[in-house]
Amino acid sequence: MKVSPLWSILARQFSSKTNNQQLQTIIHQIRFASQHIKPIPNEERQLCYTIPNGNFTFEQRQFYEDNGFIIIRKLISPSTLERFRQRFDDVCAEKIQIPGLTIMKDIAHAKSTSTVEEKTISRIQDFTLDDEFFQYCCLPELIQCVENFTGPNIMSMHTMMINKPPDAGKKTSRHPLHQDLFFFPFRPANRIVCAWTAMEHTYRENGCLVVLPGTHKGKIEQHVYPNWKGGVNKLFYGIENFDPNREKQYVEMWEGDTIFFHPLLIHGSGTNRTSGFRKIITSHFADSSCYYIECEDFQKAMENEYLEIFRKRTGRQDATIQDLWKHRSRLVQGKRINL
C-alpha cells in the first residue's frame, strides 16, 4: 500500500506499538469520516453571502443571496421576550442602572420633558454589559441562524431595544432609509449580519421595517441628516438624494419573528401612527476575525459625532473609534480574534 506524506508524518510521531495502534485507529476514523462527507453542490458554492454549514437550506440561502434578508417566523418564544420587556420596564422606572447603557429620547419628547418613562424613550442601546439583556444575543435558536452569516466565532457589535412610542405629531418617530455599513468601521461586510426580532405585531401603521430587496449588492451611499420639518433624531442619518419612487417592501412581523439582513441592505421604518408602542430587540453580529478599517472621508462627520459622545461620556479624550467599538462589543461564542 502506498503511504501518503500525511501518514508518514504521523507514523514518525508514533514509534511505540501502543502509539502505532492509536495511529491506526486515527487513520481508520479519518477514512471513515471522509466517506461520509457530503460534497457541496456547485450551485451552493456560488453563494457568497452565507456559509454552507447546514443550518439553512439551499432555498433559504438563495433567498438571502437574492434579497439581502430572510425572515424566520416564531424564532423566539413569547416567554423569552417577556424577560426583556420587563427589563426595559425596569430601566424606564429607573429601578436599575446598567453600565454603558445609552437611553435615547425622541426629539419631540426630549424638548418637552426631562422625565424618563416608557412614552418618552425611543430606544436603549449598548446593553452588552447587562447580563440579562445580553441573553438575547446568546439565545441558541438565534445563534444557530447567525452562524450561517458569521461562522463559529461570533461578536455582538451593536445592540438595541427600540421602543418606537406613538408619534408626537411631527413624524419624528420614523427612521430614514439607510445602510448600517455606513456606521461600521469593520469588514468584510458579508460576515456581518443584523438580527432584528419583533416583540409585538409590527405593521405599516405602527412603523414596521421597510426594506429594498437586493440593495445589499450595491455600495455604501452618501448619508446626511434629512431636512425634515419636525426635526430628526440624533445620528438618524439617511441616504442623500434618495429616489422615493424606488420599490420598497413593508415587512409585517409578529411576536418572535426575526429578520436577518445584510449591512448594505437599504432599510428604515415609518411613523408610528397608532396609540401603542412598537417594540423590537436587535443585535448586529460579526465574525470575530473581521478587521477594522479607516472610514471614507464622507463618513468622517458621523464618526466624529460618535466619538464626541463617547469621549464626553467616558472622559477618555484620546479615545479612538476602535476604542468605542471595543467598548460596546462582546464575545458571544468561540474565540475573539480581531474585533
Interatomic CA distance for residues 90 and 71, integer angstroms:
30
Strand 267-269 and strand 175-178: the pairing is: antiparallel
- Residues in CB range of 146: below 8 A, 6 or more apart: 154, 193, 195, 260, 285, 332
CA angle at residue 72 from 236 to 247, to 5 degrees?
Answer: 50
C-beta contacts of 106-110 below 8 A and 24+ residues apart: 106/165, 106/168, 106/172, 106/173, 106/233, 107/172, 107/231, 107/232, 107/233, 107/234, 108/167, 108/168, 108/169, 108/170, 108/172, 108/173, 108/230, 108/231, 109/165, 109/168
Interatomic CA distance for residues 298 and 294, integer angstroms:
12
Q: What is the pLDDT of residues 191-214, one digit of tens each?
A: 999 999 999 999 999 999 999 999
Cα dihedral 227, 231, 236, 242 sign? negative
* Residue 214: CB atoms within 10 Å: 15
CA 117, chain centre distance (Å): 26
Residue 96 has pLDDT above 70, yes or no: yes
| DSSP 8-state assignment for residue 318 | T
CB 182 within 8 A of CB 189: no
* Residue 205: CB atoms within 10 Å: 13
CB 267 within 8 A of CB 209: yes
Cα separation of the two ends of the chain: 48
pLDDT score of 336: 97
- Evaluate the omega torsion of the peptide bond into residue 244 and state whether it is cis, within 30 degrees of 0: no
> Burial level of 326, CB count in 10 A (0-12/13-18/19+)?
middle
pLDDT band for 1, please (50, 70, 90 cuts).
very low
pLDDT score of 17: 47
Q: What is the pLDDT of residues 213-252, one digit of tens each?
A: 999 999 999 998 888 776 777 778 889 988 888 889 999 9
- Overall average pLDDT of the 91-113 stretch: 79
Report the DSSP beta bridge partners of residue 178: 267
pLDDT score of 18: 47
Amino acid at 277: F
Q: What is the pLDDT of residues 275-323, one digit of tens each?
A: 999 999 999 999 999 999 998 888 998 899 989 989 998 899 999 999 9
- Evaluate the omega torsion of the peptide bond into residue 188 and state whether it is cis, within 30 degrees of 0: yes
Closest by CA to 132, choosing from 172, 167, 101, is: 101
Mean of per-residue pLDDT scores for the chain? 86
Strand, helix or coil for residue 279: coil
pLDDT score of 40: 56
- Overall average pLDDT of the 121-142 stretch: 95
Cell of 261: 439582513
- Residue 164's region, left for phi above 0, alpha for psi from -120 to 50, else beta, is left
CATH 2.60.120.620 region(s) of the chain? Answer: 46-333
Q: pTM for the complete prediction?
A: 0.84
The fold of the 46-333 domain, in CATH, is Jelly Rolls (2.60.120)
Q: What is the pLDDT of residues 151-187, one digit of tens each?
A: 999 999 999 999 988 887 777 777 899 999 999 999 9
